[in-house]
Amino acid sequence: MRERLGKFEVVRLLGKGAMGEVYLGRDPKLGRDVALKVISAGTAFGDEAQARFEREARAAALLNHPHVVTIYEFGEDDGMHYLAMEFLDGHELEALIREGKTPKADLLEVLAQVCDGLGYAHGRSVVHRDIKPANVLVTRQGRRLHAKLMDFGVAHMGPSGLTQSGVWMGTVSYMAPEYLDTGSATASSDIFALGVILYEILSGGRKPFHGESTTSVLNCILRHAPEPIRPADLKDVPGSLIAVVDQALAKRPQDRYPDAESLGAAIREALRGPAEAPAAVAAPAPVPVPVPGPVRPEPEGSGHRIRVGKGGQGQCLSLKVALRQAKAGSEILVLPGIYRESLVVDKDVSILALGEPGEVIIQASTGPALIAQAQAITLRGLTLQGPAGEAVLKVKSGSARVEGGRIQGFQETGVDVDSGAQISLEDVVIGPGSGAALRVHGRGQATLVGSTLQGETGGVEVEGEGRVQLTGCRLLDSRFAGLLALEHSQVVAESSDIGNHACAGVHVLAGANVVLRQCRVAGNAGFGVSVMDRGLATMEGCQVQANGGAGLLIHHGATVQARSCAFSEGRSVGVDCADGGQGVLDACEVAGNAGAGVQVEPGGSLLLVRCSLNEGRDTGLLLMEDSDVTLEECVVRRNARGGVLLAKDAADPVLRGGNRIEDGFLRVDGGGNLVKVTPI
């Protein structure tokens, strides 16, 4: 343990998590205790945790409220990133609900305080996106409980659309229906999560939507009413709180409380009881939370400005002329119109569209519409169109940031990133086009948030040692693969929708490394996820649904680890582990597939832990000769053809820890007949 981090003295370790540790620290100048969250840059989660720390610091820097934790400083000390915040000696609301010792009325007042703090955050355009009891710290001030809302690490801030782990960031049980459906979080999504906490407080810890798997929980949130509150749950609190729960958990955002303060007021009013309740309480006016958009009014900045456009409002008519006049740091403000120019941007400038989306079009006659080759370029709200056979936007070197707008009209590539170059795209639509929407070469890097990619020959292609991160994106409608990871590339996709591709949703080749978290891979005519030739894929919380080929194909030499995923409703096999493939499925659901739920071919090796293989239209588990399969605490039931089907010379699976195989074991005998057997 270090003795210091920046200016802070490190006193002792308070706790550990997946991404780092929390220490008790002390500011020697001010003489106050602080909590220090730290992450070492060399750890596996270093980049992700640093980004979350930065978001948490930026979000909390906007907020100064008694019910929001105070952030003092974000810094780095010899490779270790730290976040200094106020030290609070208390308990998480989650623990208080679970223990059941604190009166429900006190916990409801705590929740009303959280509503106050969250409403303040919403008024400053900060959407939390991970509201849950574990992110509420409760301290005691005399006889009164005091709430502090914590962990803005996945928050969404204002019109810029700054997010990192966003569509589907947070915890599934607290996600609003519209968030699951569209991946777009709003203040009303946070109010839904508050409704879930309200239900938990009243019920003593039960959740309103539950199921045996992540998939069933999602379906309940999207399609079913919450489980009714039991009469015994209301023994010590007013029954009028049921109506408050119902409104907070309404499926449609417009049917919920207009803002968090209104929900807090309703909770307090219900606690006062009918005798003290006023005859009518006018709901406060909704707090406007800006919706991320691609185009803003004339932006503010400190740099030199040049206006481009016709009608006497522009200082010049040509973007090329404006670029020649611009200095480093200049803002080029572009009035609505079509600009038939091919641009080479080799200065650190911002090109910002004025007007409504789609009104500023840069249309190339030859070559790319825009070539970026500067250290820091920003493009906002532009529509870029290119000619046949070219990339519309090409990043040759340096870094480009694209916010909003559209890139279309390509035959070869929508966005092309050369080796060593970087691009960031937020809320951008790439396509439709007849080529690949995004191609990243060599050591190029791309980060996409909230963007839609629709290229006829592919969505995202990553070559060599290229790196791509996708958060809350949609990869749709190609003749090949939505995501193609080649050679030694690395891709992380979070909370993204990959669907309706003629081949695979995700195709991993030649030693590539792909991580899929909370993604939906559905409706592809071929495989859902196929991993080939020394490829490595890690999947967590994904829905792989209704694909034409195997939901997951683990081919020769490939390795896959899948946790809490669902492989369902496919027109073929749910999971196919081929010769030389290796896989681990942990807490996965394989259900409703037309072929075998899980098929392990000769030479394949598969470990299934706490998995369920249910309601398949064929066999739950099909083992070929020379396959190696272990089942641990698994459930196999209600499969049409049987639970476990063994080929003639297949070895029995290794069974550990109380499996429940209701459909029994069958083996193909020498005559090709199915015979019931008892496993050894």
> Does the pLDDT at position 167 exceed 50?
no
Mean pLDDT of 493-504: 94
Per DSSP, the residues of 401-415 read: EEES-EEE--SSEEE
Angle between helices 241-248 and 187-203 (to 10 degrees): 140
Please say if the pLDDT value at position 284 is more than 60.
Answer: no
Query: Rounded mean pLDDT of 195-220?
Result: 88
Looking at every residue in the chain, the average pLDDT score rounds to 85
Q: What is the pTM of this model?
A: 0.58
Selecting among 47, 116, 130, 416, the annotated active-site residue is: 130
The pLDDT of residue 387: 73
Evaluate if residue 390 carries a pLDDT over 50: yes
489, 483 contact by CB (below 8 A)? no
Quick one: average pLDDT of 403-424? 94
pLDDT of residue 170: 64
Please state, in angstroms and rounded to a whole number, the distance separating the CA atoms of residues 311 and 317: 9
Residue 267 token pair: 């909770």
Condensed to tens digits (0 to 9), the pLDDT of residues 547-573 reads 999 999 999 889 999 999 999 999 999
What pLDDT, in 10s, does the model give residues 68-95?
Answer: 888 777 778 887 878 788 888 889 999 9
Predicted local distance difference test score (pLDDT) of residue 623: 94
599-655 residue pLDDT tens:
999 999 999 999 999 999 999 999 999 999 999 999 999 999 999 999 888 889 999
Return d(Cα 329, Cα 343) in angstroms, integer. 17
pLDDT of 279 over the 70 cut: no
pLDDT given for residue 146 in this prediction: 93
pLDDT tens for each residue of 23-63:
899 988 888 888 888 875 544 445 555 666 666 566 665 67
Give percent above pLDDT 90 in the chain: 59
Question: What secondary structure letter does DSSP report for 581?
Answer: -
Residue with tokens 């996965």: 588
Residue at token pair 């209704």: 546
Q: Which stretches of 386-535 are assigned E, i.e. beta strand?
A: 391-403, 406-408, 413-417, 422-426, 429-433, 436-440, 445-449, 452-455, 458-462, 467-471, 474-476, 483-485, 490-494, 497-499, 506-508, 513-517, 520-522, 529-531
**Active-site residue flag, 259:** no
pLDDT tens digit sequence for 11-24: 988 877 655 688 89
Q: Which residue segments constitute the domains of the chain, with CATH numbers given?
A: 4-86 (3.30.200.20), 96-272 (1.10.510.10), 480-680 (2.160.20.10)
Is residue 355 left, alpha or beta, with left meaning phi > 0 and alpha meaning psi from -120 to 50? left
More confident residue, 305 or 77: 305
User: For residue range 445-465, what is the model confidence (pLDDT) as tens digits?
Assistant: 999 999 999 999 999 999 988
- To which H or E segment does residue 245 belong? helix 241-248
- The pLDDT value given to residue 211: 77
pLDDT of residue 285: 39
Secondary structure of residue 445 in the 3-state scheme? strand
Per-residue model confidence (pLDDT) at position 388: 59
DSSP track, 546-570: S-SS-SEEE-TT-EEEEES-EEES-
Q: Note the pLDDT of residue 153.
A: 53
Q: What is the pLDDT of residue 215?
A: 73
Q: What is the pLDDT of residue 150?
A: 85
How many Å apart are CA 395 and CA 346, to the nearest integer? 11
The lowest-confidence range among 123-137, 263-277, 306-320, 479-493 is 263-277
Q: Which helix (H) or strand (E) is 107 found in, with range? A: helix 104-123
